[in-house]
Amino acid sequence: MKLRENYTCPLELVHDMIRGKWKTIIIFQLRKGKCSFSELHRGIEGITQKMLLEQLNELKQFELVTKKTFEGYPLRVEYYLTEQGEKMLAAVKIMQEIGIDHMLHHGMKDSLDRKGIPY
């Protein structure tokens, strides 16, 4: 993702902030606070290391996520939401509800149960 310095439409900017398959999922995963890289990797089913890192870096560019790096071995980092990230989380939570509603009304209840997602 190329970072632009000019946008004429707020929603076009936000589209760039959260574009791609994984960004909202990552934001949602960070809802309970800081996570290490591998916690995120384990927590998000199906994501590859490459995609996770790439998307985290883009989220950092747009200041939705920050990273704290700790010295020493083994290497350790913490990713967490910024203030704007928390605001985005509010939108993401609504999306999560919409997704659950849609699944409930279209015969995907089992998928929710299998993953233990409450509704």
Residue numbers at the binding site for DNA (CB under 7 A) = 1-2, 19-22, 36-39, 41, 46-51, 53, 56-57, 67, 69, 74-77
For DNA, the closer of residues 72 and 118 by Cβ is 72
Contact flag: residue 95 with its own copies (CB under 8 A): yes
Query: Tell me, what DSSP letter sits at residue 108?
Result: -
Choose which of 2, 32, 50, 106 interacts with its own copies (CB under 8 A).
106
Q: Which of its own copies, DNA, none does residue 112 bind to, with CB < 5 to 8 Å depending on kind?
A: its own copies
For DNA, the closer of residues 71 and 110 by Cβ is 71
Handedness of CA 83, 85, 88, 90 (dihedral sign): negative
User: Using CA atoms, how far apart are residues 87 and 29, in angstroms rounded to an integer?
Assistant: 14
Amino acid at 60: K
Token pair recorded at residue 85: 């990230």
For its own copies, the closer of residues 3 and 72 by Cβ is 3
| Shortest reach from residue 39's CB to DNA, in Å | 7
| Phi/psi of residue 53, nearest 5 degrees | -65, -45
- Cβ atoms < 10 Å from Cβ of 24: 18
